Structure 1
Amino acid sequence: MGRNIKSNLRGRRRQGNVMQAYDALPPELRRWLSTAALPWSPASARGIWRKAGGAKNPQAALERLDAVEAATLRRDGLMQGIGLPN
């Protein structure tokens, strides 16, 4: 599966320096973003990471990000035919 596939979901314009925000993310989260199927903003990814306890349990936070991304892909209808579970 390719990275950052085109989504039918509405995009949003971001405020501030997105690259600076990306550089401030934990290394594990930056690695996850580099292979994500959707184009996440650093702020969105960081919010999920924090709520899932990424500072204390990075693996659990990465699993939560995977689940949120899969739900978004399902909602967008992009999971059909690309080998992801429904």
Structure 2
Amino acid sequence: MSRKGRGNCGASRLRRRSRAGDPMHRFDALPPPLRRWMAEAARPWSPSSCLAIWRRVLARGGSAEEALAHLDRTERALLARDALQ
């Protein structure tokens, strides 16, 4: 299969991490705004890592919009780091 037909799965040179459990069950349990963000993300994200960022921002008193903005910044930083490798 051509690289173009695979989408973003495996397109990153960043280290892959293995996760235990059912990622789709974890995805379905996420708050709807976070699920929408993950569905539109430029790179594949694990539900666990997104939820950790989400909770960290909210625990500091941030809003859902601030959590999504933080995820956007984190993704841009990872994309830039991937481009340098």
Q: CA offset at residue 56 of structure 1? A: 5.8
Unmatched tracts of structure 1, length 5 or more: 79-86
RMSD of aligned Cα (Å): 2.0
Scaled by the length of structure 1, what TM-score is found?
0.80
Unmatched tracts of structure 2, length 5 or more: 1-6
Kindly report structure 1 stretches of 4+ aligned residues shifted beyond 6 Å. Answer: none
Q: Out of 67, 74, 81, which is 1:75 matched to?
A: 81
Q: Percent identity among equivalent residues? A: 49
How many equivalent pairs are there?
A: 76
Scaled by the length of structure 2, what TM-score is found?
0.81
Counterpart of 1:35 in structure 2 is 40
Q: CA offset at residue 17 of structure 1? A: 1.1
- Whose helix proportion is higher, 1 or 2? 2
Point out the structure with max Rg over C-alpha: 2
